[in-house]
Amino acid sequence: MSVIVSAGLPTGMEGLTYPIPFSEPEAVIRIAQHAERLGYHSVWGNDHMTTQHYVRAEFPVPPRFWEPLITYAFVAAHTKTLRLGTGVLVLPMRRDIVVLAKQLATLDHFSGGRLEFGVGVGAYREEFEALWPDSKAHRGDMVEEGVKAIQALFGTRSSSFEGKYYQFRDVELYPKPLQKHLPIYFGGNSEKHIRRVAESADGWIPAGMEPERLKGMVDSIRQLAAAAGRDPSKIAIAPQYVVHVAKTDAAAMARFRQSQMYKHLVSLGKSTLKAQKSLPMEDINLIGSPAAVIEKAERLKAAGVTHFLGLYFAANDVQELLDQMQLFAEEVTPKIV
């Protein structure tokens, strides 16, 4: 079974997965171009609006969180074939759904139809509460409703929508995306996403999930999709994992534990990754020698993975990140695709 391999782009990763400074605009472009040269299918940038509390406590200066869609407009002008994915865009932080749909359609045209749209609730509720103080909104419901609203805007010439969180009336949004069907992914590890993915998404983006749990959730998605009259094989299973490859397992693990990425995963043990916090991160993620990483990837493929999406390369400077991308592309990708 063939799989797709793509790389993470540090749009909102300073202070989280990478140190400060890290993500100069020139570096972001350089990483994207490097991914294109190495044959990665796409790059996937994340989405943050304000600095998390634990990052403020660790660093004396704020991180630079670039807005993904504007960043991708610039990346698109400096690449030719590389696809551009949001991994993920935090929909609850974007209240004007019509403006967002217009931005997506515009970017899809100006990039030549290279956009892929991943959405989620966001790992840190504190960010949502900073933007919308005292809101009692259910972020998962907002994501589900927002996707339905966007699909309505893209699917008919003129559309109206009356939801709990999003409303609009007689909107003729043109042009529609250049792609006849803009791929939409739901991101998140919650069991609640299973139904959402099965009913209406093109793919599912979990994070750092071990093969056994992943397989169980993939089986559920396929069963629910079939029951809904959809072809389960058309739904991409696209988890994100952290990568660090070295000559030996011990060297890879030692370097990984020295990285800012490791600190970030510890923080996510309180939110996105709380179901996995009892498991060694080195075992779950693609950490080790090339042979060990290939073996892990094959187990994940057997569990149902069709796309290793937006791989997060553990590195403490840009050159190390570029080197890791090249090592993975040359030593691992040819053995797993």
For residue 153, pLDDT beyond 70: yes
Strand order in the sheet with 4-9: 236-237, 203-205, 184-187, 115-120, 83-90, 42-45, 4-9, 307-313, 242-245, 286-288
Average pLDDT, the chain: 95
Say what the pLDDT of residue 277 is. Answer: 59
Residues 8, 264: contact at Cβ < 8 Å?
A: no
Helix or strand holding residue 244 (H, E): strand 242-245
The band of 263, judged by pLDDT with boundaries at 50, 70 and 90, is confident
Lookup: tokens for 65? 């969180």
Residue 264 pLDDT class (50, 70, 90 cuts)? confident
The pLDDT of residue 66 is 98
Residue 214, Cα to own-chain centre: how many angstroms? 16
> How confident is the model over 199-237, as pLDDT tens digits?
999 999 999 999 999 999 999 999 999 999 999 999 999
pTM of the model: 0.95
Does 302 score more than 90 pLDDT?
yes
Enumerate domains of the chain plus CATH numbers. 23-187 (3.20.20.30)
The number of residues in the chain equals 337
Nearest to 118 by CA among 34, 199, 205: 205
What's the maximum distance between 2 C-alpha atoms anywhere in the chain? 60
pLDDT for position 292:
98
Give yes or no for residue 337 having a pLDDT over 90: yes
Of the pLDDT bands very low, low, confident and very high (cuts 50, 70, 90), residue 192 is confident
pLDDT of residue 1: 73
Chain CA centroid to CA 145, Å: 19
The helix (H) or strand (E) run that includes residue 295 is helix 290-302
**Secondary structure percentages of the chain, helix, strand, coil, to 5:** 45, 20, 35
Q: Residue 25: left (phi > 0), alpha (psi -120 to 50), or beta? A: alpha
Mean pLDDT, to the nearest integer, of 319-330?
A: 98
Pick 53 or 265 by higher pLDDT.
53
Give the mean model confidence (pLDDT) for residues 99-126. 97
Cis peptide before 334 (omega within 30 of 0): no
pLDDT digits (tens, 9 = 90+) for 245-261: 999 999 999 999 999 99
State both tokens at 275: 């179901």
Average pLDDT of the segment spanning 10-23: 96
Confidence band, pLDDT 50/70/90 cuts, at residue 267: confident
What is the number of alpha carbons within 13 Å of residue 336 lying toward its C-beta? Answer: 28
pLDDT at 84 over 80: yes
Looking at the chain, the whole-number percentage of residues with pLDDT higher than 70 is 97
Residue 265: its pLDDT value, please?
A: 85
> What is d(CA 193, CA 157) in angstroms, rounded to the nearest whole number?
29
- Confirm if 321 and 34 have CB atoms less than 8 A apart: no
Rounded Cα distance between 220 and 329, Å, is: 32
